Structure 1
């Protein structure tokens, strides 16, 4: 496995350090300049180093991300909002793989590196929510 050295970062805002990564794991944290010689390197420029965000409750199958904003005109209860979403989802092409992918790309763009998604399964859409969230 190829190692990557990230130099001059501040883990959790602490002192300048170098990070040795093997694959997706940090295997060593060294004082700045004390890491082993590794060819592949990134200069962190003194920036803050934090773990990626985790979104532990998402609904990537039914997001309206990327669609034009539209006012909500339904009943202002949980049941009313669910009914409104169900009435509009087919018109908006929800659920779909492109919508789920757009939402996940946006999460990643903002630093989210792990997501747990819930999906709707009902008589109106059957298993399409699962298929959109996991197209494999």
Structure 2
């Protein structure tokens, strides 16, 4: 059976801006980058946070943004601190903080919020 999500992928227009965003505001670290044999793709970059991997496909000439409805979710160990840090950094909020139902024990008082990343991708976090 499947064990876990290996990585989450989305397109970005500005590789350096996206790497800086995910490292500075969300704690990811770039660990691998490579060229690919497709004309529209300049590079593929991998960033890691614990066991979570983001794969950024750098398509500088792509006129679209991340797929509508796509998002990924991070678990926060200090919801208010993380929310205020991103809010104070001027990162746009898509969905204001609100309570969510517990999926399993320990999540009873969790809340969720959704921010917007540099290419329109939705970044949810819960905690």
Q: Counting strand residues as a fraction of each chain, which structure ranks higher?
A: 2
TM-score (norm 2): 0.23
Larger fraction in helix: 1
Normalised to the residue count of structure 1, the TM-score between the two structures is 0.22
